[in-house]
Structure 1
Amino acid sequence: MQDQPTVLDDVVEAAQELGVPGVAVGVDHGGKRETFTHGVTSIERGRPVDEATLFQIGSTAKTFTATAIMVLVDQGRIELDQPVRRYLPDLRLRDAGTTETLTVGQLLNHTAGWDGGDVWTDTGEGDDALERSAALLAGLPQQFTPGTDASYNNAAFVLAGRVVEKVTGETFERALARLVLDPLGMAQTLTSLNEIMTRPFATGHRIDGESLAVCRPWSDPRGYLPAGARLASSLGDQLTWARFQLSDGRSPEGTRVLSEQLLRAMHTPTTNHELWPGVQIGIAWLLREIDGVRLIEHHGDVSGQHSTIAVVPEHDFAVVVLTNATPSGRELAERIVRETLESRLGLAEPPPEPLSLGPDELAPYAGDYRTEGLELRIVVDGDALVIHGTLTDDGVAETLEFPSRMLPGERFLVVGGPFAGLQGEFVRDAGGVVAVKHVGRLVPRAAVSSA
């Protein structure tokens, strides 16, 4: 990718600066592909990253789960506005009303309303792993009535995967391959550890103390695959996935995978509730605009690996980034996408102007906030808020800092670290601040704390 100046010219330096061992980047513009790879699959006797290297794509897998559902909608076997219990008669959730009324569509746009299910219990490697994971959802507390708000929800996609199993009579993995992967020729997108381990694959990395360390185990449990565990894919296949989003629902060979109407519906806002400021929700896909131009995106972080896919239909353009480190891989991907969109398409998003608030004005936001798998402690630091976040993944508690400045409308902007540029917001009721919506999740206040 040397014809046009872009951050890709500096990707090696950026990867070294951020401590990302390996990265694969691809651009598709009008059907013409360009690719760039750098680094190694592992800091422990790794091999060079190339276009065939398999990376775990994390939550980007949600777009595959949703597409499998939509193929079944296209076949007349599922209806999005029907209750989930129509397909899963034995469904049990903690809230009886939600059990009866929750729809399939609400599973796919983060409006199901219960705790997001970010702690992934190992339910084994058998073909009943997903069924057993879905049964654990009965213990998750309901945060809001389905459809009345939005909060990032891994558990909902676990349940969506279980719907696929019940409707098809197959394991989720087999159904996904038959409905989506095989028709698109995505032979380098795999769900079986036995298959993945016989291919060139990337190992995830995280900071351990002050040094970079390999993540172990390599993947999350099988039962959470529909939400983002284990699904591994190559740069080439992720570019195929991006090109499919720009198509009329056919594969590159002309095979009809999904009707164009339903494919476009996946890229259209499905709720008035934003996942976080400026980010609307389609069917699994996250939607935002730069200069009035819509971007269709998803990101994934799992087991020390990060994936990003951004599609710009108006320009017949897509960019894909795969890395094998978190959270630094996310920061690298954000840089690449941001600067590629600006250099290739002239799409630049000016940062919002923070408010100038004093400690007394910021004090009401300080405190502890908690939901399953995510704890936030917010303190006042001069004219800023510092959000100390502890995220539990793979049984490992990872602590990050989000230095933030307030914006109008009780929103805030992360101004430093790997999540710089991300916005969140505080949610109030008559009694004051009751929750913070951060990284897409609604995190209720746990206790009042002084700054």
Structure 2
Amino acid sequence: MTDTDLDGLLPELVALLDTATRENHVPGAAVAVSDGDQVIELATGVLNLNTGVAATPDSLFQIGSITKTLTATLTMQLVEAGLVDLDEPARTYVPELTVSDPAAAESVTVRQLLSHTSGLPGDVFTDFGRGDDAVLRYVEGLKDHDQMYEPGRMFSYCNAAYSVLGLLVQRIRELPSWEAALREHLIAPLGLTHMAALPEEALLFRTAVGHLDGPDGGQQVAPIWQLPRSAAPAGASTAARARDLIAFARAHMNGGLAQDGTRILSEASVAAMREQQVALPGSGNLLGTGWGLGFALIDRPGGLVVGHDGGTIGQTSRLRFAPDKGVAFSVLTNGGDALPVFEAVERAVFGALAGIEAQSRDVPPQPAVPIEAEPFLGSYADAGQRVDIVRSHDGGLQAVLTPLGAIAALTGPDPQYKPLVGYTPSSLLDAEPERGRYLEYAVPEVDEQGRATHLFLGGRIHTRMSDADALRYPLLENRPDVRPTVDHSPPADVDLG
């Protein structure tokens, strides 16, 4: 594409960004778009509703789990240097790694950590303070958590795996912290002048705060700015401007070369990060159709899209690039319903510059797909959430979602009750949207009785609980419209006691 094409898109992007943020109660947003060597950037709204400071293209927003792509790139630099073997057990480099299943901890490979197939507990956000040892103490603390499934068996989005990778990078680089490795081996060589790994660094810039839904239906400033530093390599606190994320994406599209010609990875390593390691269950409309070494892979009509989303406390982000078309965009937001904003930008950018159809949402089919209820019924859990699939008194199916652990501390312990409809022969879908999104409840595999061994929801695997574990939590006794269903499956590996 030409410079004129990208410049011609700017007025449309300005108008749609202003409209989409206003209609979806997003306080502020920033966007950058790249087509070949050309970049445009824009911003709208405010960084903080309490202060009214305006968002600008140079403003920093938290990028959340897009950080994982940085950690993955740091790891691949070590692989390329011959210091790490992708298929070597991670404990070769991080001997502190252990979970309740010693055999699993001993066999988890670096490749499985990168591709979210390790089976480690995903949403563990234990706070080990602000010291440089926070990530080390976090990895040591995984010994108190259960392995979810055998390494390599299936995909489950895993924050813990990236804290392990962060410690691996820190240790092999012989640096005091993961943040130091990020600065020395990515931020500096890529010339990222507006990226901060710690909050005291972000304070030097024009930086957004997160916003959450307030009691009056509007947005209010979030009470805390960041997640624990122990999850920094997974995305707890990294902040950046939209243009700096585009510079990172362009290096991946340019065969590992920064804009000034500095090489951060070889062409072979860049290509390897986009090779599918695992197919994702379900429709692929939430996270993607597959996963590489750090990146989501999204097969769309018109071409392959690569990227990652991010979410912290009141801030959400999206990075997408089409490697075969040389087009990339990033969107950073600080509250409200960001999904329609992401979708509007994606439709405009990929439609005009790449000829790629934007990622679609899951929506209930009309009529609903007939399904057998028995494979789904039961109780499931991961480190951050319990899910009960039960029959309601009208004969339909309902999901009861209850936060657990640190997630419950952040969001509150109250369960959500969601009616479900048949979506595909092996998945259910919310009957009613939450912020316009219908979540899919997919079954990746069944046991010899035809019952789901796991439930795939929100990118996470939830393991079927035993009767004893499920009955420890009588969540449904005060809901007259819900009839609990006792699951008679064999004991599972999950122990929430």
TM norm structure 1: 0.90
Aligned to 1:396: 410
Structure 1 residues 222 and 314: alpha-carbon distance in aligned structure 2, compared to 1, 3 A threshold: same
Aligned to 1:89: 95
Please report how far the alpha carbon of residue 288 of structure 1 lies from its aligned counterpart in structure 2 after TM superposition.
1.3
Choose the corresponding residue for 1:108, options 110, 114, 136: 114
Answer yes or no: is the 8 Å Cα contact 2:296–2:307 preserved in 1: yes
Aligned to 1:161: 166
Please report how far the alpha carbon of residue 226 of structure 1 lies from its aligned counterpart in structure 2 after TM superposition.
0.5
Aligned to 1:207: 213
Indicate the SS of the match to 1:365.
Answer: coil
Choose the corresponding residue for 2:447, options 413, 429, 432: 429
Whole-Å separation in 2 of the counterparts to 1:263 and 1:351: 29
Residues 2-401 of structure 1 aligned to structure 2 (within 5 Å): 3-4=8-9, 9-116=15-122, 118-170=123-175, 171-209=177-215, 210-271=217-278, 273-274=279-280, 276-278=282-284, 279-291=289-301, 293-325=303-335, 328-348=337-357, 354=365, 356-357=367-368, 361-362=372-373, 365=376, 368-378=379-389, 387=399, 389-390=401-402, 393=407, 395-397=409-411
Structure 1 residues 2 and 169: alpha-carbon distance in aligned structure 2, compared to 1, 3 A threshold: closer
> Any gaps of 5 or more consecutive residues in structure 1?
none
Answer yes or no: is the 8 Å Cα contact 1:203–1:305 preserved in 2: yes
Whole-Å separation in 2 of the counterparts to 1:180 and 1:248: 15
Indicate the SS of the match to 1:183.
Answer: helix
Whole-Å separation in 2 of the counterparts to 1:78 and 1:129: 23
| Deviations 1:396-432, CA, capped at 9 Å, x for gaps | 2167777764333413455733462664412432231
Whole-Å separation in 1 of the counterparts to 2:402 and 2:40: 37
Whole-Å separation in 2 of the counterparts to 1:26 and 1:6: 13
Indicate the SS of the match to 1:216.
Answer: coil
361-370 or 247-256, which moves further after superposition?
Answer: 361-370
Whole-Å separation in 2 of the counterparts to 1:315 and 1:397: 40
Answer yes or no: is the 8 Å Cα contact 1:277–1:411 preserved in 2: no
Answer yes or no: is the 8 Å Cα contact 2:281–2:443 preserved in 1: no
Whole-Å separation in 2 of the counterparts to 1:242 and 1:315: 13
Counterpart amino acid of residue 44 in structure 1? N
Whole-Å separation in 1 of the counterparts to 2:306 and 2:438: 18
Whole-Å separation in 1 of the counterparts to 2:85 and 2:189: 22
Whole-Å separation in 1 of the counterparts to 2:464 and 2:261: 51
Cα RMSD of the aligned pairs, angstroms, is 2.8
Structure 1 residues 394 and 400: alpha-carbon distance in aligned structure 2, compared to 1, 3 A threshold: closer
More strand by share: 1
Whole-Å separation in 2 of the counterparts to 1:313 and 1:421: 29
Structure 1 residues 383 and 258: alpha-carbon distance in aligned structure 2, compared to 1, 3 A threshold: farther
Aligned to 2:483: 450
Answer yes or no: is the 8 Å Cα contact 1:277–1:424 preserved in 2: no
Whole-Å separation in 2 of the counterparts to 1:286 and 1:402: 28
Please report how far the alpha carbon of residue 89 of structure 1 lies from its aligned counterpart in structure 2 after TM superposition.
2.8
Aligned to 1:406: 422
Task: Provide the identity percentage.
Answer: 30
Counterpart amino acid of residue 47 in structure 1? V
Indicate the SS of the match to 1:14.
Answer: helix
Instruction: Answer with 1 or 2: which has the greater Rg.
Output: 2
- Count of aligned pairs between the two proteins: 448
Please report how far the alpha carbon of residue 341 of structure 1 lies from its aligned counterpart in structure 2 after TM superposition.
2.4
Answer yes or no: is the 8 Å Cα contact 1:362–1:385 preserved in 2: yes
